[in-house]
Amino acid sequence: MQFKKILVGVDFSEVTETVINSAVYIGKIFGAEIKLVHVIENTLFPVALDDLEPFVDPKEFQKIVEKIEELTQISSEKLKSIAEKLSKEEGIKTSFSIVTGDIAEEILDICEKENFDLVVIGAHRNTISESLLLGNEAEKIVNKARSSVLVIKGNSLQNIKKLLVGYDFLPNSIEALETAKEIAKKIGAEIDIVHADTEESYAHFSHIYETVFQKKISMLKELKKNLEKEGLKVDFEIIKTTPDRAILEAIKDFTPDLVIVGKRQRKDIKRFFLGTIAMKVVKNSPVSVLIARKRN
């Protein structure tokens, strides 16, 4: 999977620099262009301005308009400065946009209308527990985006040496592995493939379970062999637990710089919701997570 157009959500919080630096790193790997987007939340006004005007005193309405214009100007100047710096110092084609409305919906709409391959957002640090919180708006983006989403947790992505991929032989995890392969080839990172074995508790006959288990080992060995033929350094492990726990356990053992998981499609809705397992990984991983999905 190639990331040629990257959309970056900028909220001017404590994680902004980390998110932008990570987007730049990925952008350089793929030779991508970047668009920075800041959304002015509609908490200042409950509905669209055109709908609000008939119900508000003209002077009060003008104050709201002026406040939005002020915030837009301030944000625009900040993003323009960042975009010019990235274009000049990093050599990345960078644009920016300021919009008003619901943060998640605005970013999702821009992503779809302008066909971005990747959205980069950040998780915020809980000052009480020091854990990394996804936040409601970020969770909506992760959950609904039709493109890949990179959630930055902890430090900026600057020198990826280890990639961890959750793999279950299904198309979504195959896409995740293909993405890991593309990244690894470009920067020389090693890949650890983790598969969660959940068949044992459902097997009524031990010989059936053992046959399935050995088949999985054989398939993973063949996969490892084929990837090594492409010049990649690869290993795999099977952990007997639920998929989310297997990935989180592998993170502790392998200490990857980036975790990559796939995204399953729900055919009955417009957008593509993230499975419960993948969302648990995103929420609980101490390192950045890339949810890979190829745009159709």
Confidence of residue 271 (pLDDT cuts 50, 70, 90): very low
Confidence of residue 136 (pLDDT cuts 50, 70, 90): confident
Residues 15 and 141: their CA atoms lie apart, in Å, by 17
In the chain the domains, ranked by start, together with CATH numbers, are 5-292 (3.40.50.12370)
Confidence of residue 265 (pLDDT cuts 50, 70, 90): low
Confidence of residue 199 (pLDDT cuts 50, 70, 90): low
Confidence of residue 270 (pLDDT cuts 50, 70, 90): very low
CB atoms under 10 Å from CB of 162, counted, come to: 17
Instruction: Give the burial class of 266: count Cβ atoms within 10 A of its Cβ; 0-12 exposed, 13-18 middle, 19 or more buried.
Output: exposed
The DSSP bridge pattern shows strands 234-239 and 190-196 to be parallel
pTM metric for this prediction: 0.88
207-246 tens-digit pLDDT: 777 888 899 999 999 999 999 999 999 999 999 999 999 9
Residue 244 CA, distance from chain mean position: 16
pLDDT of residue 63: 72
Mean of the per-residue pLDDT values of the chain: 86
Higher pLDDT, 162 or 277: 162
